[in-house]
Amino acid sequence: MTNREIKISFQEYTSVKELDTDDQSLCNEAVKAMVNSHSPYSKFRVGAALRLQSGKIIHGSNQENVAYPSGLCAERVALFYWGANHPDDPIESMAVTAHTDEFILNKPVTSCGSCLQVIAEYEKKQNKPIKTILFCKDGPVWVTRGIESFLPFLFFEDRLS
């Protein structure tokens, strides 16, 4: 038996102001995206913004439903919009933020497993990693280069052959 370890690396910044101007403005877009969050049940607003290779920005926000499982996370709202409307314009980066009036968020939200799986699918589709920037107003900023930092044991199609 051999014990093996996988190291996951990401960058931590103390504030959005430390990011380059493109990333800072993408974070501002994620904040704007939160405005249309429909979250009457959790009262937890999430905003996501994608920057495409052409420079186009796509917004997504969490959309909840009284039938809870019918709702969708901000990341997938933005990612599926991209898949449906701009699949030939690769996603370079995604910024995600959240806010609630119920308590102070001092750590960024990290995407749920279903959103991670969708990021994985689209990285494969566009054959390019998606840089992800996770941040909140009163906490650090976490930046990863792509899905492998989140899902090192991702299922890859090559295992099927």
Can you give the binding site for ligand THU, defined by CB under 6 A? Answer: 39, 42, 44, 46, 62, 64, 71, 73-75, 109, 111-112, 115
What span, in angstroms and rounded, lies between the C-alpha atoms of 122 and 128? 9
Q: Which residues contact 84 (CB under 8 A, 6 or more apart)?
A: none
Report helix angle 113-126 to 74-85, nearest 10: 30
- Distance, CA of 30 to CA of 47 (rounded, Å): 5
Q: How far is the CB of 38 from ligand THU (least distance, A)?
A: 8
75, 92, 121, 123: the active-site residue: 75
Measured from the CB of residue 5, what is the shortest distance to ligand THU in angstroms?
26
Query: 121 catalytic, yes or no?
Result: no
CB of 57 to ligand THU, least distance (A): 18
Q: Active-site positions?
A: 75
